Amino acid sequence: MDSFLSAVVSVLFYGVAYGMVLYVISVGLSITMGMMGIANLAHGVFAMSGGYILVTALAKFHIPFPLALALSFFLVAFVSVFLDRLLYKHIYAAPELEQVLFSIALIFISIAIARLIFGTLQQPVLLPEYLKDQFVLFGRDFPTYRVFIIIFSALLIAALWFGVENTKWGAMVRATVDNRAMAQSIGINTKLLFSITFAVGSGLAGLGGALGAEIIAIQPTYPFEQLVFFLIVVSVGGLGSLKGPFFAALLIGILDTACKYWVPEIGAFLIYIVTIGILLWRPLGLMGKRA
């Protein structure tokens, strides 16, 4: 009994850490897709870039870990502004299918570039000494790095939710997600707002990819392989919703960890079944505003 309890605790712990990472990566996708209706399948590219930036900063340039993490956010956000102005702006109004083609093209290109620079091998993460230890709580050991992921993401998510609920920018974002035409007509510059939101969302994906580099292996095929999970989080949580994807991410994180622990032979099978079930029960997702 005690060993079962201990297994449940560690599954919950690892699952929550994974879920937090999934949420930090996917939240930007939910907001930008809800805002502009863009089917951006290339969101994983930002997460992968964040991961590569962290890994390189730590291993090649010996930059301190907190700085490397910040770098993965700002660099990805910065690059995404250019991508938005150069490429994405052409497809805002394009039909859904062309957006799919466009984002898959970006995935192909990013896979090739990642392979060109880093090779096909999975990148190891050189964590600083103070994050490598075990953290003892209630007589159990928890890896410090996972504890750090959970606490850091929780603070980040709290800040993000506060920002969206209580600042003027947040109010404008919510208004634009609810009704873009109306928001535009009362004087909100929705295009500028979208660019800023896109940059923040992409930056968060970069940060999430960096945070989770040890959980979700950083390798060139990352954007394709992880895309399914990001999309599941967004659609199960509800498109355009801020909080829905959080619960979806936690659910997926815990479920995936539990499956890997108890029934590794079925793989991700259960996750897809649960996804299909939830989408049939609530087609708009847990807290979705529109399809």
Partner 1 sequence: MSKLIGFQTQPRIRKYELLPWILAIVVFFVLPEYLSLGAQILTYILFALSLDLITGYAGIVTLGHAAFFGVGAYTCGILSAKFGITDPIILLFVSAIVCALLGFSTGLVILRTQKLTQLMLTLAIAALCFEVANKATTITGGADGLTGVVISPILGMFKFDFLNKTAYLWCLLILFIFWYVIRRLIYSPFGIALTGIKENKQRMQAIGVPVTSFLLKAYTFAAMVAGVAGALITQTNQFVGLNVIGFEPSGEILVMLILGGVGRMYGAFIGPLVFLVAQDYLAKQFPEYWNLGIGLMLLIVVMFAKGGILGVIDKFFVKRSLQK
The site for partner 1 (CB under 8 A) is made up of: 33, 39, 41, 87, 90-91, 94, 96-98, 100-102, 104-113, 115-116, 224, 227-228, 231-232, 234-235, 239, 265-269, 272-273, 275-276, 279-280, 283-285, 291
Sequence-separated (6 or more) residues with CB below 8 Å from residue 189: none
As measured in angstroms, the least distance from the Cβ of 76 to partner 1 is 19
Cβ-contact 209, 72 below 8 angstroms? yes
Kindly state the smallest distance separating residue 93's Cβ from partner 1, in Å.
11
The nearer residue to partner 1, 207 or 239, going by C-beta atoms, is 239
Contact 30, 237 (CB under 8 A): yes
Choice between 89 and 132, CB closer to partner 1: 89
Least distance in angstroms from the C-beta of 107 to partner 1: 7
Closest CA to 57 of 112, 107, 122, 128: 128
Closer CB to partner 1, 50 or 285, in the complex: 285
Minimum distance of partner 1 from residue 248's CB (angstroms): 11
Say if strands 134-137 and 140-143 run parallel, antiparallel, or are unpaired: antiparallel
Distance, CA of 20 to CA of 150 (rounded, Å): 7
**Cβ–Cβ under 8 Å, residues 252 and 19:** yes
Query: Which regions of the chain does DSSP assign to beta strands (E)?
Result: 134-137, 140-143
The DSSP-derived string for 86-132 is HTGGGGSSS-HHHHHHHHHHHHHHHHHHHHHHH-SSPPPP---GGGT
Residue written as token pair 């970006």: 106
Residue (of 126, 112, 118, 132) closest to 213 by Cα position? 126
In the complex, the smallest distance separating the C-beta of residue 219 from partner 1, rounded to whole angstroms, is 14
Q: How far is the CB of 108 from partner 1 (least distance, A)?
A: 3
Nearer to partner 1, 39 or 157 (CB): 39
CB of 176 to partner 1, least distance (A): 18
Scan for tokens 């029934």, then name that residue. 263
Q: Which one, 207 or 227, has the nearer CB to partner 1?
A: 227
Q: What is the largest CA-CA distance in the chain?
A: 62
For residue 127, give the nearest of 66, 71, 184, 86 by alpha carbon: 66
**Minimum distance from residue 117 beta carbon to partner 1 (Å):** 11
Of residues 171 and 273, the one with the C-beta less far from partner 1: 273
Which residue, 111 or 215, is less far from partner 1 as judged by CB? 111
Nearer to partner 1, 100 or 126 (CB): 100
Which amino acid is present at 145? Y
